[in-house]
Amino acid sequence: MFEKILIANRGEIALRIHRACREMGIKTVAVHSTADADAMHVRLADESVCIGPPASKDSYLNMSAILSAATITGADAIHPGVGFLSENADFAAMVEEHGFVFIGPAPEHIRLMGDKVAAKQAAGGLGIPLVPGSDGAVTTGEEAIEVAKKVGYPILIKATAGGGGRGMKVATNQDELLPALHIAKTEAKAAFGNDEVYMERYLSQPRHIEVQLLADGHGRVIHLGERDCSLQRRHQKLLEEAPSPALNENARAAIGERVTAAMKKLGYRSAGTIEFLYENGEFFFIEMNTRLQVEHPISEAITGIDLVREQIRIAAGIPLSIQQSDIVFSGHAIECRINAEHPDTFMPSPGLISDYHAPGGLGVRVDSGLYSGYRVPSHYDSLIAKLIVHGQTRNECLMRLRRALEEFVVEGVATTIPLHQRLIQASDFINGDYDIHWLERFVDTTGGETK
Ligand code: MV4
């Protein structure tokens, strides 16, 4: 087992990884920019190294600075966390080339799943259900018209180098198709330096459901059920829940088995998440994330499995000690992302935390690096805390979540706490009756009422 792990990340996820290491008796190295010198994970780590000025490109994305920090501290392995370099295949390869263990998948799998067309073709070949569409990239208008005839309208044109909602254009009929194709290619070229696009049938009211998996690279793959991440605004998740209110036991087992069989065939290693659109009882693959995800704690809450500990054990070459039959799903969990943003305008709200009190009690977890006197920097994403609440039923979880949000004190910056308090009172949400477009409508129609 590793003696020392360098955590190549910041904020709440760096603290989360530090906690798993500490419980495993593994020493931790925190890296930080000059803006994060007072961060909680830096305070708690066994060692810390300043890797650069605030800008991410000069610090948390600075591969050579991170590798140098690993060298001078004698780290055995590097955990990339989420975001930053966590899905950078070149970084994963460099880590291994420099003699450290990358706590994550093999670089070739990171690269494969980072190319949206190659990922879709690989997923299809592994038996994962796909959205009907083109077989790879579409280059000419004639080809686009043929694909659309086969697939049917409305059609979605997606940039191969896109992802996260960037570079998508809808065509509702043939008259709109060629102009949409031209615009999509032009915008993709401008945004990603690559004008390649592919086509899919457009699903108009899907849910966004993702399946969490763990694979040890020795042939054992298990799934930890699904997470419903449909409540997003401009592709930013705000609240996630597990299990999805839309799935029953059979649907859960069916998609779980398809995913684990596929990842066995691929020879995947580490934690991974397969993202689906779910509409009319059918799953359609959209992307695979080859990293730990922000919302992983709700899967931990309903299974009792520490995903970061399992990632570390897998990276150390230890076969999975749990098998699918050991996994018992228990209760319901919801995660609220607490962002330092105005709850109506979503404008970032960095600043000094003048007072902080985290809720507690049975079934309440807060993952955050905040403390009274901490200054939320303006250089990074606005996530400052995750409130994860578990209950034996969804109703119990909702009641507990309402109580925990009332207890949560964060003074000095604006936060999304009032938005969550409004959201969990909405009848559609209480009924679990929402799709990927619901939150934007909710915010647009009820925004500004933060009382
Ligand atoms: C789609 C779709 C509808 N139909 N594909 C957005 C980002 C990327 N993950 C894929 N996305 C979508 N792909 C087809 N064929 C709708 C979306 C989408 C979306 C997906 C998940 C969560 C939120 C979303 C918000 C807008 C659009």
CA of 164 to the centre of ligand 1 (A): 8
Please check whether residues 163 and 298 belong to one and the same domain. Answer: no
Residue 115 placed within a domain? no
Residue 75 placed within a domain? yes
What does the DSSP 8-state code read for residue 434? -
> CB of 90 within 8 A of CB of 136?
no
CA of 234 to the centre of ligand 1 (A): 10
Write the pLDDT tens digit of every residue in 18-45.
999 999 999 999 999 999 999 999 999 9
Please check whether residues 93 and 190 belong to one and the same domain. Answer: no
Instruction: Summarize the confidence of residues 429-440 as an average pLDDT.
Output: 98
> Domain containing 60 — which CATH number?
3.40.50.20
Residue 109 placed within a domain? no
Residue 272 placed within a domain? yes
Please check whether residues 197 and 234 belong to one and the same domain. Answer: no
pLDDT at residue number 448: 55
> CB of 215 within 8 A of CB of 263?
yes
Any residues with CB less than 8 A from the CB of 23 and at least 6 apart, and which?
A: 306, 309
In which domain, by residue range, is 197 found? 132-201
- Is the CB–ligand 1 distance for residue 200 below 6 Å? yes
Residue 411 placed within a domain? yes
Please check whether residues 315 and 434 belong to one and the same domain. Answer: yes
Beta strands in 27-92 (DSSP E): 27-33, 47-52, 77-79
Write the pLDDT tens digit of every residue in 153-183.
999 999 988 877 788 999 999 999 999 999 9
Instruction: Summarize the confidence of residues 425-448 as an average pLDDT.
Output: 94
Write the pLDDT tens digit of every residue in 86-138.
999 999 999 999 999 999 999 999 999 988 889 999 999 999 999 999 999 99
Please check whether residues 182 and 248 belong to one and the same domain. Answer: no
Residue 9 placed within a domain? yes
Please check whether residues 402 and 420 belong to one and the same domain. Answer: yes
Please check whether residues 225 and 371 belong to one and the same domain. Answer: yes
> CB of 7 within 8 A of CB of 81?
yes
Res 441 pLDDT > 80: yes
Write the pLDDT tens digit of every residue in 40-66.
999 999 999 999 999 999 999 999 999
Where helices occur in 24-86 by DSSP H, the ranges are 40-44, 63-73
Please check whether residues 185 and 223 belong to one and the same domain. Answer: no
Closest approach atom of ligand 1 to CA 133 = 15
Please check whether residues 315 and 399 belong to one and the same domain. Answer: yes
pLDDT at residue number 388: 99
Please check whether residues 221 and 197 belong to one and the same domain. Answer: no
- Is the CB–ligand 1 distance for residue 156 below 6 Å? yes
Give the dihedral sign, CA 36/409/395/326.
positive
Write out the H or E segment, with its range, that includes residue 183. Answer: helix 174-192
Q: Which of 151, 179, 201 is the last residue of a domain?
A: 201
Of 298, 186, 191, 295, the closest CA to residue 236 belongs to 295
pLDDT band at 451 (very low <50, low <70, confident <90, very high): very low
Catalytic residue among 207, 269, 291, 365: 291
> Domain containing 336 — which CATH number?
3.30.470.20
pLDDT band at 450 (very low <50, low <70, confident <90, very high): very low
- Is the CB–ligand 1 distance for residue 439 below 6 Å? no
What's the number of domains the chain is made of?
3
Please check whether residues 328 and 272 belong to one and the same domain. Answer: yes
> CB of 356 within 8 A of CB of 368?
no
Instruction: Give the closest residue (by CA) to ligand 1 atom 27.
Output: 165
> Domain containing 186 — which CATH number?
3.30.1490.20
Write the pLDDT tens digit of every residue in 348-395.
999 999 999 999 999 999 999 999 999 999 999 999 999 999 999 999
3-state secondary structure of 231: strand
- Is the CB–ligand 1 distance for residue 209 below 6 Å? no
* Six-digit token string for 391: 């209950």
Quick check: is 365 catalytic?
no
Residue 373 placed within a domain? yes
CA of 276 to the centre of ligand 1 (A): 9
Whether omega before 154 lies within 30 degrees of 0, making that bond cis, reads: yes
The mean predicted confidence, pLDDT, of the chain is 96
Q: Which of 82, 103, 124 is the last residue of a domain?
A: 103
Residue 124 placed within a domain? no
Q: Which of 169, 201, 233 is the last residue of a domain?
A: 201
Please check whether residues 195 and 267 belong to one and the same domain. Answer: no
